[in-house]
């Protein structure tokens, strides 16, 4: 039996799950206000009880306006906005838990490296070594406009700059030796000055004197997570990431990606197990298989297509309002989507398929990536069987942080996975890096 790691990936909160099944749906659960701490803390406690490796919070820094050149659809459907800043969210979740890992998304384009390095060090202290950083380079032009730029750097250049950003952060995180803090009252010495060094970093994009004005945290540096899957994005991940999130539709496609990516990690001089692959999975669970299928059908039938068009438009940075809903997107557009998240289209148009724009927009706001539909037994079986076929690592459960999603998975599916011996029943380590490297 192949064991699986588990991440709860809550993107584009508060409505994550999207559309009917998101902020407005029956699954969200009553009595919670997403703006308040209790929802986030209670869900973190529930996922820790289920021994998840990590909770990951996505983020973005703008209300988009790609679709129809207006913000209307994004605001109406809470699509890609609003977001709480993920840093205080992971801090309050850390305060309510002891073992589960917590990941915040922060942009290399908009966050100054020194501030980010110190923020992550502080959060790693406060969580006793459970922090991860989801490294994004940002892809929306509206994010650039919010920071006073007219446009973003080109796709590959964003990654080049991010490589330098990582090198700078790495030096800041190493600027204090692990034994630099002595706190010796006899000699009235807090830190040994010989063990704290300026870095005098001089790059093409960044300069920094250093050292960090924060002491080394339990993990030393946050766990690095990444989700870009272009060739350049995969090279970046193979160099830096300890976990990646990937959308693939079938076990065969997952297996193919798994083998190729692990080879790439080896090519960059790292052990393949140094970077874990999490495949996106969206479980739709009900008491019986029939009920779950009915729920999935209803979700698809009632999906607000316009919300899907708005989501895809911003993800591929192209206004899709001008395209025929009942035709596949032109191949030229599929190629152009490079500035945004092109893999959003690639996965729909892979293996010679040609779904219409209406179909992919509907899918986007209903079933989305790799749906696992059924009663708890069926969902547990399919997750276990898929992981066996792929050969390892885990799933990023792509759902909202709401009781209606978290509780059925935690209470009904996790015990079945534990009985099969494919997920952990106890944490063996205390820090996030320990969880990822446990198997």
Ligand X SMILES: Cc1cc2nc3c(=O)[nH]c(=O)nc-3n(C[C@H](O)[C@H](O)[C@H](O)COP(=O)(O)O)c2cc1C
Look at residue 423 and give its three-state secondary structure.
coil
Q: Is 66 annotated as a binding residue?
A: no
239 binds ligand X (CB under 6 A): no
390 binds ligand X (CB under 6 A): no
CB of 301 to ligand X, least distance (A): 25
Q: Is 138 in the site for ligand X (CB under 6 A)?
A: yes
DSSP annotation of 340: S
Half-sphere exposure of 304 (CA within 13 A, CB side): 18
Residues 191, 98 contacting (CB under 8 angstroms): no
Q: For the beta carbon of residue 70, count every other beta carbon within 10 angstroms.
A: 14
Looking at the Cβ atoms of 233 and 272, the one nearer to ligand X is: 233
Q: Of residues 144-173, which lie at the interface with ligand X (CB under 6 A)? A: none
Q: Rule CB under 6 A: say whether 242 interacts with ligand X.
A: no
**How far apart are alpha carbons 383 and 229 in whole angstroms?**
22
Tell me the closest approach of the beta carbon of residue 291 to ligand X, in angstroms: 28
List the one residue from 21, 59, 142, 242 that touches ligand X (CB under 6 A).
59
Residue 72 assigned ligand-binding role? no
If the CB atoms of residues 227 and 370 are measured against ligand X, the closer one turns out to be 227
Closer to ligand X by Cβ: residue 208 or 314? 314
**Of the two residues 192 and 346, which places its CB atom closer to ligand X in the complex?**
346
The only residue of 27, 137, 318, 399 in contact with ligand X, by rule CB under 6 A: 137
CB 211 within 8 A of CB 192: no
Binding of residue 228 to ligand X (CB under 6 A): yes
Q: How far is CA 89 from the centre of its chain?
A: 15
By CB under 6 A, is residue 174 in contact with ligand X? no
- Minimum Å gap between C-beta 342 and ligand X is 6
When CB distances to ligand X are compared, the closest residue is: 233
Contact status: 230 vs ligand X (CB under 6 A): yes
Binding of residue 58 to ligand X (CB under 6 A): yes
Residue the block writes with tokens 């990936």 = 9
Among 247, 307, 360, 379, binds ligand X (CB under 6 A): 247
Residue 59 is labelled as binding a ligand: yes
CB 218, min distance to ligand X, A = 25
Restricting to residues 263-292, which ones interact with ligand X according to CB under 6 A? 280
d(CA 370, CA 9): 14
Min CB(124)–ligand X separation in Å: 20
- Residue 139 or 395 with smaller CB distance to ligand X: 139
| 208 contacts 201 by C-beta, under 8 angstroms | yes
Among 341, 383, 416, 422, interactor with ligand X by CB under 6 A = 341
Is residue 312 involved in binding ligand X (CB under 6 A)? no
**Distance set, CA 95 to CA 160, 166, 222, 312 (Å):** 36, 28, 17, 36
CA distance linking residue 165 with residue 402, whole number of Å: 34
Q: In angstroms, rounded to a whole number, what is the distance separating the alpha carbons of residues 61 and 81?
A: 9
Please list, in sequence order, all residues whose beta carbon lies within 8 angstroms of the beta carbon of residue 426, skipping any fewer than 6 positions away.
51
Per CB under 6 A, the segment of 58-66, 90-98, 144-152, 353-361 that binds ligand X is 58-66
When the beta carbons of 212 and 383 are compared against ligand X, the nearer one is 383
Give the separation between CA 298 and CA 292, rounded to whole angstroms: 10
Instruction: Provide the angle, in degrees to the nearest 10, between the axes of the packed helices 113-126 and 155-173.
Output: 50
Closest by Cα among 67, 72, 65 to 320: 67
Which stretch in 88-96, 114-122, 340-348, 405-413 sits in contact with ligand X by CB under 6 A?
A: 340-348
Chain position carrying tokens 């885990």: 394
Task: Write down the least CB distance from residue 332 to ligand X, Å.
Answer: 18
Total binding residues toward ligand X, as defined by CB under 6 A? 20
Q: Which residues contact 56 (CB under 8 A, 6 or more apart)?
A: 7, 8, 9, 10, 103, 105, 132, 134, 225, 245, 396
Residues annotated in a binding site: 59, 105, 155, 159, 230
Per CB under 6 A, residues contacting ligand X are: 11, 58-60, 105, 136-139, 227-230, 233, 245, 247, 280, 341-343
Residues annotated in a binding site for FMN: 59, 105, 155, 159, 230
């Amino acid at each position: 039996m192949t064991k699986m790691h588990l991440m709860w990936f809550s993107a584009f909160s508060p409505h994550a799950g999207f559309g009917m099944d998101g902020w407005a749906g029956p699954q969200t659960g009553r009595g919670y206000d997403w703006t308040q701490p209790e929802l986030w803390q209670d869900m973190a406690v529930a996922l820790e009880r289920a021994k998840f490796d990590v909770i990951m919070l996505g983020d973005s820094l703008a209300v988009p306006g790609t679709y129809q050149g207006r913000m209307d659809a994004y605001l109406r459907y809470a699509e890609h906005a609003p977001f709480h800043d993920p840093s205080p969210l992971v801090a309050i979740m850390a305060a309510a838990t002891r073992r589960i890992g917590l990941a915040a998304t922060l942009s290399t384009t908009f966050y100054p490296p020194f501030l980010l390095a110190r923020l992550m060090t502080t959060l790693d202290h406060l969580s006793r070594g459970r922090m991860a950083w989801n490294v994004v380079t940002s892809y929306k032009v509206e994010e650039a406009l919010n920071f006073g730029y007219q446009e973003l750097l080109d796709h590959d250049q964003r990654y080049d700059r991010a490589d330098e950003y990582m090198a700078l952060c790495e030096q800041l995180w190493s600027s204090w030796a692990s034994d630099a803090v002595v706190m010796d009252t006899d000699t009235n010495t807090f830190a040994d000055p010989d063990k704290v060094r300026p870095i005098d970093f001089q790059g093409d994009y960044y300069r920094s004197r250093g050292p960090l004005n924060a002491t080394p945290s339990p993990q030393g540096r946050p766990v690095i997570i990444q989700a870009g899957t272009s060739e350049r994005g995969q090279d970046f991940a193979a160099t830096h990431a300890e976990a990646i999130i990937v959308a693939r539709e079938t076990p065969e496609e997952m297996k193919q990606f798994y083998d190729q990516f692990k080879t790439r990690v080896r090519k960059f001089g790292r052990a393949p197990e140094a970077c874990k692959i999490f495949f996106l999975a969206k479980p739709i669970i009900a008491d019986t298989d029939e009920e779950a299928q009915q729920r999935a059908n209803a979700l698809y039938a009632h999906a607000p297509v316009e919300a899907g068009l708005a989501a895809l438009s911003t993800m591929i940075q192209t206004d899709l309002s001008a395209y025929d809903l009942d035709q596949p997107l032109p191949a030229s557009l599929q190629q152009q989507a490079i500035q945004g998240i092109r893999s959003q289209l690639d996965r729909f148009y892979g293996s010679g398929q040609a779904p219409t724009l209406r179909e992919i927009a509907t899918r986007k706001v209903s079933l989305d990536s790799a749906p696992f539909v059924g009663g708890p037994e069926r969902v547990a079986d399919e997750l276990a069987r898929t992981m066996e076929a792929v050969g390892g690592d885990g799933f990023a459960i792509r759902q909202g942080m709401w009781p209606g999603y978290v509780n059925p998975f935690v209470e009904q599916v996790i015990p079945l996975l534990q009985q099969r011996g494919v997920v952990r029943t106890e944490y063996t380590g205390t820090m996030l890096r320990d969880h990822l490297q446990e198997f």
